[in-house]
Structure 1
Amino acid sequence: MRALAKYLVAAFLMAVPVAQLAAQEDLVTDISQHLISIQSNFTGADLLLFGAVGGEVTAERDIVVVVRGPDTPAIVRRKERIGGIWINYGSAELESIPGYYAVVSTRPLTDIAPPVVLERHGIGTSFLGFKSPDSGSEPAPADYVEAVTRIKSSEGLYLEQPGGVLFLGTSLFRATIEMPANVPDGRYSARVYLFSEGNVVQAQTSTLFVNKVGFERLVYDFAHNQPLAYGIVAVLVAFIAGWAASAVFRRR
C-alpha cells in the first residue's frame, strides 16, 4: 500500500501543472479508485485519497476528508421496558441517513475549526444534520440521532480519524480511508476541505461507487426485483438441502 501510495502521489504531482500548484490556497485532489467491487470474498477496502495544496504553508492550514454515502431514510424505534417486557415506545422517521460516514483530518476537528463552522458544513458525526419530515426545518430528536450514530459507529460504519491526513513535504498530502466489509453499496462522495485559520477556503468533491458484482449482484437484484419468487426459491433450496442432509445421515 505504501509503495502504491508513493507511485500515485508521484504520478499525480506530474499531472498537475506547476502554475496551478503555485496559486494561492489552490486545492487539487483525486482518489485511487472510483469503483469498489463487492464479491463473495470482499473483506473491506482501503481508499487512498491524495492531493496538493498551493500557496504559502502555514501552521493553521489543515485538510479534512469526508467520505459519505449512500443517504437513505429510516424509521428509528425506541424500546422501553414495561412490566419486564421490552416494547416499542416511540419512533422517529429520519431523512438522509448515510450508510457510511468517515472523517479523516490532519488534527482533531475541535482544533481545526469552531463548532459553528463544522456544523455549517456537516463535518463530524456530531453534525450530520439528520432531519425529520414531521419537524420541518428543525433537527431530528437528539436521542434518536445519538442512537443511530452509536449503532453505526459500533458497526464500523461511522468513524473519525484525527491525524489520518499526512502531508508529504510542504504541499502534497494523502489519506487512507478504511471501508469495512459491511459497507453498503451505492454512490459515495469524497469531499476534501482546505481549512485556514478555522475557516473553509477551498473544497473539492470526487464521486465513488461501491457495487456488488457477479453472482452477488444477480442474487441481490433477484431478491429486490422479485421478492416473492426469491422467497419461494429460498424455501425450496432450504427444503432440498435439509432432505439431502437427512438422506446422507440415514445411509450412515
Structure 2
Amino acid sequence: MIRLLALLLFAALPASAETVVAGQSLDEIGITARFDGSEVLIYGAVRRDAPEPEGPPLEVIVTLEGPSGAVTIRKKTREAGIWINTEQVGVAATPSYYAVASTGPLADILDPAEDVRQRISVPLAVRAFSGPLEVDDARPFTEALLRIREAEGLYSLSEGTVRLVEGTLFRADFRLPANLVEGTYKTRIFLLRGGKVIDAYRAALPVRKVGIERILFALSRQNPLAYGLLSLVLAVTAGWAASAAFRFLRS
C-alpha cells in the first residue's frame, strides 16, 4: 500500500520542473538633482530537476513596472473657436513606468489567455476603468495614454532583446528615463513553453530620492508651511546674491 502511494505521488510530480533563479544589477536607484536616468540589468538562469524536455522551445519574458496611480484621460474638441475638454475617461490604476523585454515576438511566444491572466503586455498593464464609462468607446483614450507614455520613454516593448544562452542563462537590459516616479518598482520574469507560463519570479527595486532632495521632499510632505517659508527665504537670498554680484561686476 505504501509503495502504491509513493508511486502515485511520484507520477503526480512534473517530469521536468523548471524554475527561475534571478538577480538584478542594482538593489536601489537613488534620484538626485543630476539624475538623468539609469540602466538596470536583470539576469538569471533556469534550474532543472531533469534534462530539458523536448517540445516547444523555452522562452523568457521580463517586465519592469513602476508604481501605479489613477489617471484621467481627457479629450479636447474645438467649440465656438475654443479648445475645451468635452469627454474624459478615468483609469483606476496605470503604471507610471512599464517595460517589457522578451526572447521573441509576444504574439508568437505568449498565449493570449496567459497574457490576460498575468497582465504582461503593455496594453493589459493598464488596469480597469474607474467608475462607469461616459463614452461609447474607451479605446481611443487608452491608446492615447499608451502613445503619450511611449513618446515620453515611460512605456516600451523590446521583443527579441532577451538573450537566452544554451536554454539556461538569460539577461535583459532596461534603460530607465530621468522622469521616474519615486516608489517600489516590480521585476517579473516569466518562463514559457508553448505559450504557457511554467514559472514566474518576482522582485522589488526601490527608487527614491536621496541627499538634499530627499530632505526637501520629506519636508514638503510633513511640514508644508516650513517648506514654503524655506523656499521663500532661498528665493529672496538668491535674488539678493544675484543683485549684489551684478552691482559688483558693474563697479
> What is the rounded CA distance, in whole Å, between the counterparts of 1:57 and 1:40 in structure 2?
52
Partner of 1:32: 25
Percent identity of equivalent pairs: 37
The verdict on how the C-alpha distance between 1:145 and 1:69 changes in structure 2, with shifts beyond 3 A counting, is same
Q: Contact 1:49–1:175 (CA<8 Å) still a contact in 2? A: yes
1:77 matched to 2:74? The reply is yes
The verdict on how the C-alpha distance between 1:141 and 1:203 changes in structure 2, with shifts beyond 3 A counting, is same
Normalised by the length of structure 2, the TM-score is 0.81
- CA positional deviation for 1:192: 0.5
Partner of 1:244: 241
1:210 matched to 2:203? The reply is no
Write the letter of the residue equivalent to 1:171.
T
> What is the rounded CA distance, in whole Å, between the counterparts of 2:247 and 2:19 in structure 1?
74
Write the letter of the residue equivalent to 2:57.
E
> What is the rounded CA distance, in whole Å, between the counterparts of 1:23 and 1:35 in structure 2?
35
Partner of 1:186: 183
Partner of 2:171: 174
> What is the rounded CA distance, in whole Å, between the counterparts of 1:41 and 1:57 in structure 2?
51
> What is the rounded CA distance, in whole Å, between the counterparts of 1:232 and 1:75 in structure 2?
32
> What is the rounded CA distance, in whole Å, between the counterparts of 2:94 and 2:230 in structure 1?
32
CA offset digits 1:117-173 (Å, max 9, x no partner): 32221111121242223139xxx9323322221221111111111112101223111
The verdict on how the C-alpha distance between 1:72 and 1:119 changes in structure 2, with shifts beyond 3 A counting, is same
Matched residue of 1:235: which SS? Answer: helix
Partner of 1:107: 104
- CA positional deviation for 1:189: 1.1
The verdict on how the C-alpha distance between 1:238 and 1:85 changes in structure 2, with shifts beyond 3 A counting, is farther
> What is the rounded CA distance, in whole Å, between the counterparts of 2:206 and 2:233 in structure 1?
34
Counterpart of 1:149 (choices 146, 163, 186) is 146
Normalised by the length of structure 1, the TM-score is 0.81
> What is the rounded CA distance, in whole Å, between the counterparts of 1:213 and 1:205 in structure 2?
25
Matched residue of 1:135: which SS? Answer: coil
- CA positional deviation for 1:23: 4.7
- CA positional deviation for 1:85: 1.9
Write the letter of the residue equivalent to 1:37.
G
Write the letter of the residue equivalent to 2:41.
L
Q: Contact 1:57–1:171 (CA<8 Å) still a contact in 2? A: no
> What is the rounded CA distance, in whole Å, between the counterparts of 2:181 and 2:37 in structure 1?
11
Matched residue of 1:243: which SS? Answer: helix
The verdict on how the C-alpha distance between 1:204 and 1:50 changes in structure 2, with shifts beyond 3 A counting, is same
Matched residue of 2:245: which SS? Answer: helix
CA offset digits 1:36-92 (Å, max 9, x no partner): 112223222211111112333755321000111211123333222222322222333
For structure 1, list consecutive stretches of 5 or more residues without a partner in the other structure: 1-21
Partner of 1:122: 119
Partner of 1:226: 223
Partner of 2:7: none
> What is the rounded CA distance, in whole Å, between the counterparts of 1:246 and 1:131 in structure 2?
54
Matched residue of 1:134: which SS? Answer: coil
> What is the rounded CA distance, in whole Å, between the counterparts of 2:102 and 2:76 in structure 1?
36
Partner of 2:131: 134
1:41 matched to 2:38? The reply is no
> What is the rounded CA distance, in whole Å, between the counterparts of 2:147 and 2:95 in structure 1?
13
Partner of 1:7: none
